[in-house]
Amino acid sequence: MLNFIWLGLIVTSLVVAAFNGRLESISQAAFDGAKSGVTVSFGLLSILAFWMGLMRIAEKAGLLELFARLMAPFVSRLFPDIPKGHPALGLILSNMSANLLGLGNAATPFGLKAMEELQKLNPNKHQASAAMCTLLAINTASITLIPTTMIAIRYQFGSTNPMEIVGTTLLASFSATIFALLLDRWYRRRSMRKTR
């Protein structure tokens, strides 16, 4: 569906540009966008490599395991449908750890693998389970302690203080996560009442 939306936007802009005689503006914008995309990508690559390396060191040092043990009671209460010791719980904890450090790109593979494991537990294969919806809500809102990607972008574009967004990002992501969890609980209770 999203592909059709993008295609519609591109075709509409080309038609309007051709109608107004400004087709050269479109080609110039496309080249400028490609150039800035490559520049931003190289800047993000170095920052992401740095933080992924730190995550790997933390993993080897046992910090992620410690974090997982500390978060395990909280996560098991969030996901009561998942049996204790199931691989999905470890993947969810890894996903949450990466999101806390602002590494959305690193969190995505853990989230996808967690969804695969949750699908194995799902009795209705054509509908998302409650645990899958909870994971999606947490992953989308995700509390972020260090917004590494945004800091990298701000640094790359010459911000005098790229770290100044840490406090507001923490507040915004914390509020979003709490709201997402409250909505998730409300929908869970509502669906449980309907099934009775």
DSSP string across the chain: -HHHHHHHHHHHHHHHHHHHT-HHHHHHHHHHHHHHHHHHHHHHHHHHHHHHHHHHHHHHHTHHHHHHHHHHHHHHHH-TTSPTT-HHHHHHHHHHHHHHTT-HHHHHHHHHHHHHHHHHH-S-TTS--HHHHHHHHHHHH---S--HHHHHHHHHTT-S-GGGGHHHHHHHHHHHHHHHHHHHHHHHHHHHHHH-
pLDDT for 128: 84
pLDDT for 195: 67
Q: Which residues of the chain have pLDDT under 70?
A: 51, 55, 59, 64, 102, 195-196
**Through-space distance between the first and last CA atoms of the chain, rounded to whole angstroms:** 35
Mean of all residue pLDDT scores within the chain: 83
- Residues 74, 100: contact at Cβ < 8 Å? no
Q: What confidence tens digit (pLDDT) does each residue in 90-139 have?
A: 888 888 877 877 677 777 888 889 999 999 988 888 888 888 988 988 88
